Structure 1
Amino acid sequence: MPAVPVSRFKVRVTKDYLVFSSGHFITFDGDHCERIHGHNYRAAVEVDGDLDANAYVVDFIALRDMTRVITDELDHRMLLPAKSPLIALEVVGPNTVARYRDRYWSFPSDECVVLPIANTTAELIAEYIAGRLLEAMKARGWPSPRTLRVEVEECFGQSAEIELTP
């Protein structure tokens, strides 16, 4: 008797406006710190799950809009890591000062996004976006997806992806 095929459904959202241009720098190898630079990041989101009463995995438009809220918050900002063991952040007047050893940078605080991550790598930015999306889905009363994937592209041909199975 032939096997019954198993169906899995997923939706993917990636748009020209799910982008954010941001500055950052990362630490690596325990004793290196990059120069400040920026990227024109692009986000893509994929959700695997069962079909609902409308025959949707999730509503494309709602998923797109939830993602856009997050990317818009990151756009034209300096991304700083709140949980870095190597970069210390301090608010001094209207500025946020980032220190790495004997180097420091001062940025207007309203032009920064301090992320709850250890390093502003594409991998951890993707994880941050995924966590925010899961919170937004829960707030809408959506069931947890089977899998949530978020890809963050730093530049053409260079991206990182996280896959969460809540």
Structure 2
Amino acid sequence: MKIAKEFKWEMGHRLPFHKGKCKNLHGHTYRCMVEIDGAPDENGMVLDYYELKRIIDPIIEEMDHSFMVCSKDTELMNILKSLETKTVVVDFDSTAENICLYLLDRIKKAGLPENIKKVKVRVLETENSYAEDELSLR
């Protein structure tokens, strides 16, 4: 059985390697759909949506109204620090694909109940562009 919940946040980033507009500082209204697959419990629930929200919200809140920056982008990190800007420092370029993998890793580390067998995350960077991946837990 599968259930899913959507989350949304605002975040800035840049892709220094990009040959087009994404090399510039810019931001998106990101959305992600977190889908979990598992066996329903004795009450018929895979996971209470409130519990899923409790697990995911702290991850989203960390990114919301922040600037995601790769640790190798030292010039930008120094600027963001001087501006006292909320940042999420990561060890990857902030593509939709890498953000998707980042979220999967963070969700895995957050600890889901034993009945959850698989997690899928879809990250929408724009209203019609997304990256998606899934992770088997057991």
User: 2:77 is aligned with what amino acid?
Assistant: T
Aligned position for 1:26:
15
Aligned position for 1:96:
77
How far residue 40 of structure 1 moved from its aligned partner, in angstroms, is 0.6
| Alignment match of 1:150 (pick from 121, 128, 135) | 121
C-alpha offsets along residues 102-125 of structure 1, whole Å, 9 cap, x if unaligned? Answer: xxxx1135511102x421011111
Aligned position for 2:26:
37
| Alignment match of 1:79 (pick from 47, 68, 75) | 68
* Equivalent residue pairs, number: 134
SS at match of 2:116: coil
Does the alignment pair 1:122 with 2:96?
yes
SS at match of 2:61: helix
SS at match of 2:47: coil
User: 1:59 is aligned with what amino acid?
Assistant: D
Q: TM-score, normalised by structure 1?
A: 0.71
Aligned position for 1:6:
none
Measure, in 2, the Cα distance between the counterparts of 1:135 and 1:114. 18
Identity of aligned residues (%): 30
Q: Give the helix-richer structure, 1 or 2.
A: 2
Measure, in 1, the Cα distance between the counterparts of 2:38 and 2:11. 32
Q: TM-score, normalised by structure 2?
A: 0.84
Does the alignment pair 1:131 with 2:119?
no
How far residue 65 of structure 1 moved from its aligned partner, in angstroms, is 2.4
Does the alignment pair 1:61 with 2:50?
yes
How far residue 88 of structure 1 moved from its aligned partner, in angstroms, is 3.7
Q: Which runs of 5+ in 2 are unaligned?
A: none
How far residue 28 of structure 1 moved from its aligned partner, in angstroms, is 4.0
